[in-house]
Amino acid sequence: MEAQRKLLNSPERCVDEALSGIVSCNGGLALLRGHRVVLRSDLGALKGRVALLSGGGSGHEPAHAGYVGAGMLSGAVAGGVFASPSPGSVLAAVLTLWQAGASGVLLIVKNYTGDRLNFGLALEQARSRGVRIAMVIVADDCAFTHLSKAGRRGLCGTVLVHKLAGAMAERGCSLDEIVAKVTEATKGIGTLGVSLSPCSVPGCLPTFQLPPGEMEMGLGIHGEPGIKRSKVASADEVVKSMIDHMTDPSSQSHLSLKSGDSVVLCVNNLGALSCLEMAVVGRAAISCLESRGMQVARVMSGSFMTSLEMAGMSLTLMRADEETLALFDAKTTAPAWPNLSTAALSGRNCSIAPPENVSASEEASDQEGPLSDVMRKVLEEICTNLLKQQEELNALDRAAGDGDCGNTHALAAHAIQEWLNSHVVPGCPGQLLSSLAVLVQERMGGSSGALYSLFLTAAALPLRGYSHPAAWAEAVHAGTEAMRRYGGAEPGDRTMLDALCPAVEELKKLSSAPSGGTMAVLQKAVEKAEQGAESTRDLTAKAGRASYIAAERVTLPDPGAVAIATILSEAELSARRRDGQTNGHLAARSQPAEQMEFACSHVVCNWMPDRTPGLYPSLPSSLSGGASYRVSGRPQSICDHDYDNRISVIPQPDPPLVPPPLPPRQNSSKKQPRPRSMPPPVPPRGQEARGETPLRANVNVVSLSVGRLVDISRATAIQSSQNPVYCGKCHGAMSTLSTLKKMVWCCDFCGKENTISSTDSGVKSSARRPLPGRDVLYLSQELDGDYVNLEDMLVVFCVDISGSMSVTSEVSAGSSVRSPTYVSRLQSVQDALQRSLSSLLQTSPHRRVALVTFNDEVTVYGDGTGVPLTLRDWSLMDYDYLKKQGESYSTPHCIAESIHPLTQRVKELCEHGATALGPAALISVAMASRYMGSKVIICTDGRANIGLGELEQSAGQTSTHSPYFYSQLAKEAADSGVIVSVLTFEGTDCRLAEVGRLADHTGGRVNIVNISTVSTEIQSVLADNILATSVTATLLSAEGIYFPYEDESSHKLVREIGNVTEGVEITFQFAVKPDSIESFQRRDRIPFQLQLDFKTRELQKVTRIITDQRRVTSSSWVWAGSLNMAVLGVHCAQLCARLTMEGRIVEAQKQLKAQQDLLKDISEQRPSPKEESIYGNWISTMSVICDDLTGHSQRKQDTRELMASQSSPVKGLSDEAAKVVYQLKRAKSVGGKKQASQPLGL
C-alpha cells in the first residue's frame, strides 16, 4: 500500500509553507519570526484588552490560524502535522502578546495530553515572568460512555469557545470574566464525529484501515479509535444515531438537552466530504433536532476543524441563551469564520411559492383523436428502448462526461410512462409535444432536459391543428433550429445534432410528395441518424462537457447522438408496425433480445450438396459489386452462394501446403486501434492454392442468450405450474402456434397427430386462451434436493506454491500491489487473496472460504481455523482417496468468523518444490461439491509434474491419462454445480489447453494474468455466480432441417450446457436437406422451438419453452440486407474454437475463411459504418486465433498426424493460443443489443 498522494512540495516543509501561505493570503495576519506562530498584524489594538492564544497540531486547518483576527484569537501556535506545538513557541507567542500591551493572556487548549503539557509548561514559565495568564481546557467529545482519567477529547467545540471568548475580549471584558463565561459555556458543548475513510500524515501510510462499506463513529481528529464500526447507512440514519448517542443520559459524556432548548449547530467537514453531502447532513441534523422539540437558533456548515483528507463529519451542539447568541453573532475579521445570518431558523417557512402557471404544464385536452393511439404506442416503444439502453448510454458517457446520460434519459422515460398511465393522449400532436416539453423540463433535468424541452416546445407550434407529413417536417426542423440557436452547437461538434440534423434534412422531403412514400423517407432518415451517431466517434467535441476532454481519449460515439438515433429508430419502427410493413429486416430488429435471435430474417434454403446449376436465383444488380467465385461454370457472388452443407467431413489425404510466414502477432495486451477498413484477408489455405472451390458460410444461425433465459427473476415469459404437453414422437411441445381440433394436435415439427386429453396440463377447452403462449416458464413445485442458500456456498482458492512462484517482476507505478518494487508471483497472489478475503467479508460475510496449496504435496488449510491436512507420495495418485478426503473435509466457519486465521495462513505461504496441480484440483472440487454454486479458483504458473494429471515437459511424452483426468474432473464439477476457473501467469507454459478443460466444461474463466492483474481477475471470477445448473438446450424445427457439425440426421438437436453464469451465449447453425428444398420453398413459415431445461439456484426444476416462426426464402433480395452480423460473428468464433479444441483445425480454418469472405462481400455491397465496426471488431479477434492455427499447422508435417492426435488434439497449442481458443468458445455479443462499438465479450 502506498502513501496517499498529496499536492505538496515536501512533507518536511509543508507546515511552514502552509503557514506562510495563510499569512500571504490574509493582510490582517503576520508570522512570528523563527516560530510557527500566526499573530494579528495589528497587535497595537490589543492594548488594554485580553489576548487570546490557541493552537495545536497542524492538519486540522483552518484551525487554528484561520481564527486569528479581531473578535476571535490574537494568535495561534502550530505544531507539526498531528503534533503538539513546542513550549518555546507557545511562550514566545505569549510574551509577544503581553509586550504588545495586553491586559492578560488566555490560553484556549484542546484536551489532548501533548497540548495540555506544552501549553501548561509555557503558562508556568510566562507566569514566572510576571505575565497575567490563564488557561481554559475544552473537552467536548461525547463519544465514550465511560470516561477514563484522560477525560473527554477536545474537538470542534473549541472553535465555538474561540468565538465566545473573542467577542468578550473585543468588548473589553476582564480575564476572569472571560474564563468564567467560557468555562461555563464548555459544559453545554458536545461533539461527535463519524468517518468513512482514514486520513494519512504526509509521507506516511493511513493512520488506520477502514474496510469498504463501513464507517466508524466517535473517532478523534488524529484518527484515534472511535466507539464502534458499522455498515454505512443513509445520512438521516447516521445523523439520528449520532444525536441519539450525544444526548443519551446513560453516557457519562452526554450533552444534556431537552425539548425547548435553543442550540447552535455546527456541521463540520472532517476534510473530504463534498459540499453536496454536507448540505444533506445539515438538513438531516436540523430535522432531527426539531423533531425533538429543540430550537435551532444558528447553523454553521463547512470545514472548521478537519483531519487532513478524512471523509467524514462531526456534529457540534451548543446550548445557547440570548447572551451566548449575542457573543456568537458578534463581528469578527477571522478569515475562516463564516458570515452567518442572525435570522431565526426553527419554525420558519423555507420555501417561496412561485407565480401561478410557471411550473404547471399546459392542461391537455381530454379529447382523443385519430392519432392518439398511434402516438401512445410510439412513446411507449421509445421509453421502453431508452430504458433498455440506459447502461450502454452511461458507458458511452463515462468516456467523455460524467457517465449519467443513460440515467438522465431513463428519468425522462419513466416520467413519460407515468404520464401516459394517468393522462389521455390528446389528438392534437402540437398539444402533446407542449405537454411533453414541460414534463421533460421538470423531470429530466440537466442540459439534456433543457435541449429536449426546447426541441419539443419549438416543434409544437407547426403541429397546432395540423398532422400531415409536411407539418411534421416543419416541426422537426423548427425544433432542431431551436436547439442550435440556444445550445450553441453545430453539426460536427460531436453532439446529438450530428445524428439529428442529417435526419431532419432527409425528413424535409416530406414537404412534397416523396418518391417511395412516407415510410421510405422515415427509413432513410433513421439510417442518416445512425450514420451520424456513428460518425461522432471520429469527431472532436466542441460543445458540452466532452469538449474539455482530450480528443485522443474520446473514441466512442457521442451518447446523446446515439440516444437520438434510438428515438428516431423506434418511432419509425412503430410507424411501420402500424402500417403493416414489418418486413424481415424489421422483424430481425424487433426480435426480443432475451429470446432466440437469428442471424438472418428468413430460413434460406436454396442450396444443394453438389451445387447443381439452376437452383440459384440470379443476383440483383444492386448486389453485384461483391467478390465472385465460379461455381459450375458461372460467376457467383458470395451473397448468392451455396452454404456449408456437407453431411460429413472427410480429411484431405494430402498435407496442406504451408502458407507464407505471417508477421509476428502484436502483444495482445496493447489496445488495438479501431479498424477504419476491412482487415487484410487471411493467407490462402491449402485447398485454395490447389484451385478447389472454397467453403461458403452458412447464414442460418440462431443465437441463444442462455444467461438471460435461465434468469427467471427477469423473465417476461408466462409462468405455469403445469407440465408441458409433448409430442409422442419428436417431443416437441404444444404452443400458441399449435392447432387443436377436437382435442387432436398435429405436431408442428414432425406432423404426428397427438390425442390430447381434456385433463392434460395447460390445455382447457373452455379457456379463453386454451393453448400455451410463445414463451412459457413451466415451474416444478418440487425441489431437486435440499434447499441450499447461495450465501453458504464455498469458495476454494487452489494456489500453486511451487518453486517457480518465486520468480519476480517489476511492479509498475500504478500497480495495486504493495512494495517492494520487485514482487514475486506468490507475493502478488497473496496480496490478491487478502484483498479478495476483505471484499468477501464486506459483500458476503456468510460465505465460506477455503485455502488449498500445492507443491510436492497438497495442503488443505480449509477455513484456516483447524489443523491443516497434508497429502503426499502415494496419495497423490489415488483418485478415489483424494476425492473422499475432499468430500469429508469440513469448512464450518464463514468468512466473518475465519477472516483473521485464513489471512494469516495466506501471509505465511512460501514457495518451494514441484507442482501437484492435478491432485490439488481434485480435492478442491471435491470440497466444493458439497455446496451447489461453489467456486474453485486455481492459480498456477507451471505444468503439473507430479501426481494425477501430470503433464511432462516434453509434448510428445504427455501422459495419456492426463486429458481424460481433467475432462473427468470437469464433468464431476459441472454435475455438482461447481465452477472452476484457471488463472496462469504470463510467460509460462502450463499446458493451459489441458488444464483449461476444467473451466471450459464448468462455465469458469480461463485467463493469463501478471502480478498487476491477478487481483482484478480474481475479483471478476468471484463476481461470476451460477444462475442455473444442469442446463440442457433442445432446438427443434420442421423435418427436413439438420444441424451441420452436430446432428446431421435429425431435425432436433440436444446440447448439454451444464452450469450457466450471466452472459453465457450459445449458437446453432441449421440447414435444409437437399431433398426438402422444393417442399420448403412452397412453405410460408418454418417453426422453431427452444426447450431449455435447468435447475435454478434454489434447486427448482424449470422448463422454458420458446416457440417462433421464420419465413422461408431463396431470394438474396430478402435476406442479404437483414443479416445480423454480430450473431454470425459470435457463431463463427464459437464454432472455430470448438473445432480447434476437437483437433479439426483444417475445418476451423475453412470456416474462418468462409466467414471473412461473406463479411467482406456484404461490407462492400451494403456499406455501413456501424456494421463495418462489428465486422472489424470480431474479425480482429478471430485473426489472433487464425495466426496461432497457421503456426500450429506449420509445425505439423502431416495433416493426418494432426487429425490422428486423439489423445490430446490441442497439445501443440501455446498457453496464449489456448487461452484465446477457450475464450472464443464463450464469445458473446455485448449487452442486450449487438453493439458495434465494442468487440466480442470474451
Binding residues for substrate are: 57-60, 110, 115
Residue 87 neighbours by CB under 8 Å, 6+ apart? 118, 119, 121, 122, 125
- Secondary structure of 158-189 as H, E, C letters: HHHHHHHHHHHHHHCCCHHHHHHHHHHHHCCE
The span from the CA of 842 to the CA of 797, in Å, is 18
Q: Rounded to an integer, what distance in angstroms lies between the CA atom of residue 532 and that of residue 496? A: 9
174, with CB counted inside 10 A (0-12, 13-18, 19+), is: middle
| Cβ neighbours for 378, distance < 8 A, ≥ 6 positions apart | 570, 571, 574, 575
- To the nearest 10 degrees (0 to 180), the angle between helices 405-422 and 559-579 is 40
d(CA 486, CA 881) in angstroms, rounded, equals 77
- Cα 1222 to chain centroid distance, Å, stands at 24
CB atoms inside a 10 Å sphere around CB 664: 7
Q: How far apart are CA 155 and CA 191, in angstroms?
A: 7
| Number of neighbouring beta carbons within 10 Å of residue 438 | 16
- What is the secondary structure of 523-570 as a DSSP string? HHHHHHHHHHHHHGGGSPP-SSGGGGS-GGG--S--HHHHHHHHHHHH
Q: Are 185 and 172 in contact (CB under 8 A)?
A: no
Cβ–Cβ < 8 Å for 699, 588? no
DSSP single-letter state for residue 200 = B
Catalytic residue among 222, 245, 1051, 1131: 222
Dist CA 454 CA 375 (whole Å): 20
CA angle 756, 759, 763 (to 5 degrees): 65
Asked whether the beta carbons of 100 and 72 are under 8 A apart, the reply is: no
From its phi and psi, is residue 445 left (phi > 0), alpha (psi between -120 and 50) or beta?
left
3-state helix, strand, coil in the chain (%, to 5): 40, 20, 40
DSSP assignment string, 301-370 = EE-SS--TTB-EEEEEEEE--HHHHHHHHS----TTS-----S--TT-----PPPTTSSSPPPPPS---T
- Pairing, β 75-81 against β 133-138: unpaired
DSSP 1063-1128: T--EEEE-EE-GGGHHHHHT-SEEEEEEEEEEEETT-EEEEEEEEEEEEEE--HHHHTT---HHHH
35 catalytic residue (yes or no): no
Q: Counting runs of H as helices and runs of E as strands, what totals does the chain give?
A: 35, 38
Among 1148, 1133, 1137, 1136, smallest CA distance to 1199 is for 1148
C-alpha cell at 1210: 490441442
Q: How far apart are CA 205 and CA 6, in angstroms?
A: 12
Strand 935-940 versus strand 979-985 pairing type: parallel
Task: Determine the Cα–Cα distance for residues 568 and 304; give it in Å rounded to an integer.
Answer: 53
- Cβ partners under 8 Å of residue 856, min gap 6: 872, 912, 913, 914, 916, 946
- Residues with a catalytic annotation lie at 222
